[in-house]
Amino acid sequence: MSDLIDRGATAPLAISADWSELRDWFALLKPRVMTLVVFTGLVGMLVAPGHIHPVLGAAAIFCIALGAGAAGCINMWYDRDIDAVMRRTARRPIPAGRIAPEAALSFGVILSGLSVMLMGLATNWAAGAWLAGSILFYVFIYTMWLKRRTPQNIVIGGAAGAFPPIIGWVAVTGSVDVLPLILFAIVFAWTPPHFWSLSLWAHDDYQRAGVPMLPVVSGAKETRRQIMLYTLVLAPLGLLPTLLGLAGWVYGAFAISLGAGFLFHALRVLAEPQDRKGVSLIGDVAARNAFRFSLLHLAGLFSALAIDHWLSALGIIS
Amino acid sequence: MEPARMTKEEEVAFLRRRRSRNIGMIVVLIALVIIFYLITMAKLTSSVS
């Protein structure tokens, strides 16, 4: 089946579909950010005590992804003015004029409602409420309130990205416990050094858009110091599940190695050859490496927790 | 006043976009039906076992 267009004297022309518009709608959901929340939410679900039907578990993960995407979509609607002036984001569907802002907002709101409703129906309404809370936090607290007002935007706003392990856990158990709160704290403390490493070498865009990222407001030197401070908090936090007996030595070994690795990279960021203002003289090599390592750090830590949990469940480790 | 008519090229582009949107809509609606069906069946089997 295809639409036909009358071309006068010539034969009617078959119209094939143009998928670029659907790709634009999908891009509104920030698929790359989705990967992180899906992964941490999945681990929260895997390490939770109890059993969830695999279909319901998959539905819960789908809802977490959908909710995160919906929040990202509303964020793109609200930030369309600053996205238009930043090189990294100017080609996004809204600033590029390919999708109308109002349509994107409707899309985000509908998906938000759908994800929460589906989560409540598939698992429990406590998980639905946590998911709703995370969407509202990202949209109202981070996007609309903090992002344009304070260099602490990433610190407090980072909580929005830290909710998925709790949501995954609550989807299984119906309530919150100590371990998901520690996982929340780990992602929360991980977010600032992760984003500030990125912003050290990509802050021109933020400056142009007037977004008060830490390197823009306080300078590169202070940003390097803050990356070190947060990494000093993050390293012991990563070890906490083992210290409290909530995870075994396999996870502990990974936590020590990854924490030490992140500290090493933070130290290199701090000690990188720089001018008096802290601007790198060698192209922010250390910050780029720290940013890449931060991704490995979080993925490794959460993977190790899931592996440790399985080994323990199989009786291979105590 | 007569409304502005689309050129042939604009009309083709419009129809291509509309077609992809329609197919996308159908896929999403079918996916939703399947998801709700699977969730219902899973809930039923979970509560029975």
Which ipTM did the prediction report? 0.81
Give B7's contacts in chain A (Cβ within 8 Å): none
How open is the CA angle B5-B6-B7, to the nearest 5 degrees? 120
* Secondary structure element (H or E) that encloses residue A317, with its range: none
**Residue among A135, A118, A131 nearest A167 (CA):** A131
Verify whether the Cβ–Cβ distance A18 to B20 is below 8 Å. yes
Q: Within 13 Å of residue A53, how many CA atoms lie on the same side as its CB?
A: 18
- Asked if A73 and A29 touch (Cβ cutoff 8 Å), the reply is yes
% chain B with pLDDT above 70:
88
Give A117's contacts in chain B (Cβ within 8 Å): none
Task: List A13's β-bridge partners, or say none.
Answer: A5
How open is the CA angle A192-A196-A200, to the nearest 5 degrees? 175
Verify whether the Cβ–Cβ distance B42 to A121 is below 8 Å. no
Verify whether the Cβ–Cβ distance A118 to B39 is below 8 Å. yes
Residues A34 and A15: their CA atoms lie apart, in Å, by: 34
Cα distance from A129 to chain B (closest Cα, Å)?
Answer: 19
Q: Which domains does chain A have, with CATH numbers?
A: 24-185 (1.10.357.140), 215-318 (no CATH)
Q: Which residue has the tokens 């509560």?
A: B47
Single-letter code of the amino acid located at A12: P
Q: How many residue contacts between A and B have a Cβ separation below 8 Å?
A: 58
Cα distance from B42 to chain A (closest Cα, Å)?
Answer: 6
Cα distance from A19 to chain B (closest Cα, Å)?
Answer: 6
The rounded average pLDDT for each run of 10 residues, N- to C-terminus, in chain A (318 residues) is 49 69 93 91 96 96 97 97 92 95 97 97 97 97 94 89 97 97 97 93 85 90 95 97 96 98 96 83 89 96 96 84
pLDDT score at B48: 61
Verify whether the Cβ–Cβ distance A5 to B11 is below 8 Å. yes
A241-247: long-range contacts at Cβ-Cβ below 8 A with a sequence spacing of 24 or more? A241/A179, A241/A182, A241/A305, A244/A178, A244/A182, A246/A178, A246/A179, A246/A182, A247/A179, A247/A305, A247/A308, A247/A309
- Residues from B contacting A (CB-CB < 8 Å) are 8, 11-13, 15-21, 23-24, 35-36, 38-39, 41-43, 45-46
Q: Within 13 Å of residue B21, how many CA atoms lie on the same side as its CB?
A: 10
Inter-helix orientation angle A219-243/A285-313, to 10°: 10
Cα distance from B1 to chain A (closest Cα, Å)?
Answer: 24
Residues A3 and A10: their CA atoms lie apart, in Å, by: 16
- Tell whether the model's pLDDT for residue B49 goes beyond 70: no
pLDDT score at A280: 79
Give B24's contacts in chain A (Cβ within 8 Å): 22, 25
